[in-house]
Structure 1
Amino acid sequence: MTKQIDGLVSVIMPSWNTADYIAESIESVINQTYQNWELIIVDDCSTDTTDEIVNHFKDDRIRYFKNSINSGADITRNKALQHSRGEWIAFLDSDDLWHPEKLEKQIHFMEKNGYSFSYHNFEKIDEDSQDLGVTVTGPSLVTKKMMYHYGYPGCLTFMYNAKVMGLVQINDIKKNNDYAILLKLCKKADCNLLDENLAYYRIRKKSISHDKLYKKLKSHYDLFHICDKQTPLTSFYLACMNMIYGLHKKYKYEIRNQ
């Protein structure tokens, strides 16, 4: 990792066949009130028109890379992180959106309080960017123990200080690679909640978020066993805890707007 540039935010955006959405995602970065950012897009061999759409944006702050072979979201995120130069690291998937003041408010929140790791609330939208009337929040402080029970921060919401936390790289795993990053970070600092809606998470019909229970259990087991090097018994226990706390989160932290 190169020396971090003070004040610069590196926005990590993996992409794969999101031509229908990526322009809107990129625009939500361009429209930030905080303008000291670089957007690092790494495309994982898309077969749609992603290339054409990204190349339409003529902004030197957008850095576009392509994998030579289809490698998965984990390796794609790793590659983007390796190219990052920012003091701050933030994540935005190529079908999600940010509120215009997301970066400005989150950086102010972290600098004011001396935090190196934070997250915020988000709202759910559908494939047509229509509000689904659901706000997702979380605990005001997520400790290491809590993070192992459940990955509360949404990928599009968390940010960390690369000068404090260093370069994060994760092992090859098909799913939960954003959670794998959280597990790396929570060993270095607690994660603090900025209690504002600053992002929009897109629910898509083919989203892996809708996997059946046994597939979710298996993917969480692999996360703890392969990525975090836990024993099989511990990995199974933590995977089960994630199922339980996932239900708790849905009940306590998913709020239906009136």
Structure 2
Amino acid sequence: MEMELVSIITPCYNSEKYITETYQSIKNQSYTNWEWIIVDDYSRDNSVLVIRSFNDERIKLFVQENNQGAANARNLALSNVSGRYITFIDSDDLWLPNFLETTIHYLKNNNENLVYTSYKRVDENLKPLLKDFIAIDKVDYGRILYNCPIPMLTSVYDSSVIGIIKFPQVELREDHAMWIELLKKIKYARAIEESLAIYRIRENSVSRNKFNIALKQYNVYRKFLKMNFLNSAYYTFFWALNGLKKYGKL
């Protein structure tokens, strides 16, 4: 299989403790034609020094002079990609060695535009915490409104077909808003059921505080998608319900 360039996008903020493990998981990929675009979002620890110590010419590091958030960091990275395929990994997560090879082979062989996989869920020390998240196949625009089953960590899309999709300015829910925009351009996302990545659930993760972000999710529907109050409340209810199921609360 011809190895076309893959652009890997990572926002980094105070990740000196984890980013070496992330790098090793990328370095160990069986698919080797990649560039890793890291945007350090004004880290106050030694993240930048650690990244520079990797001394890998495939890494492009951008250092922000003030903290602008993950959406802006990813958008800066997306403005500097050179690859056909776009994928994302946060600075504390990991891929299994065959992640890139398996996903890109799937896209090419099946003439698809967006694919994602299942993943393992562990604690900060990489010990199993929850059952694997199992990817559901054929997520389309109508389905993505109910919640966001497409993880950043295991998604790969073909920018030669879709283009570069930037992250909207939607506080804490920019990933969901981005997938909504992307699924306006294609019929659906496809899934590979095999778990090919490791998602680290940190104790104080913002994404796990559902009460804190419920209003932000409501605003995805009300302000970003311009839905009326009833429809916004309807979809927010199902988003919350799916979130409880995702983390084993139902």
Q: Shorter-normalised TM-score: what interval?
A: over 0.9
Match of 2:201 among 200, 203, 226: 203
Structure 1: stretches of 5+ with no match in the other structure: 1-5
Query: Which residue identity lines up with residue 111 of structure 2 in the other structure?
Result: G
Q: CA deviation at 1:209?
A: 2.5
- Residues 172 and 213 in structure 2, CA contact (< 8 A), matched pair in contact too: no
Q: 1:75 to 1:226 in 2, by over 3 A?
A: farther
- Between Structure 1 and Structure 2, how many residues are aligned? 247
Query: Which residue identity lines up with residue 234 of structure 2 in the other structure?
Result: Y
Give the whole-Å Cα distance in 1 for the aligned partners of 2:166 and 2:207.
23
Give the whole-Å Cα distance in 2 for the aligned partners of 1:243 and 1:109.
32
User: Does the alignment pair 1:140 with 2:137?
Assistant: yes
Match of 2:189 among 188, 191, 202: 191
Match of 2:66 among 66, 69, 72: 69
- Residues 22 and 93 in structure 2, CA contact (< 8 A), matched pair in contact too: yes
Structure 1 length-normalised TM: 0.90
Give the whole-Å Cα distance in 2 for the aligned partners of 1:225 and 1:60.
44
Match of 1:157 among 136, 139, 154: 154
Secondary structure (helix, strand or coil) at the match of 1:106 reads helix
The C-alpha deviation readout for 1:166-221, integer Å capped at 9, x for no partner, is 111122233022222211111122010111110000010110122143x2321211
Structure 2 length-normalised TM: 0.92
- Residues 136 and 193 in structure 2, CA contact (< 8 A), matched pair in contact too: no
Q: CA deviation at 1:249?
A: 4.4
Q: CA deviation at 1:130?
A: 2.2
Q: 1:226 to 1:81 in 2, by over 3 A?
A: farther
Give the whole-Å Cα distance in 2 for the aligned partners of 1:229 and 1:82.
27
Q: 1:109 to 1:231 in 2, by over 3 A?
A: same
RMSD: 1.9
Give the whole-Å Cα distance in 2 for the aligned partners of 1:84 and 1:19.
24
Structure 2: stretches of 5+ with no match in the other structure: none
How many percent identity over aligned positions?
34
User: Does the alignment pair 1:125 with 2:118?
Assistant: no
Q: CA deviation at 1:223?
A: 2.5
- Residues 138 and 190 in structure 2, CA contact (< 8 A), matched pair in contact too: yes
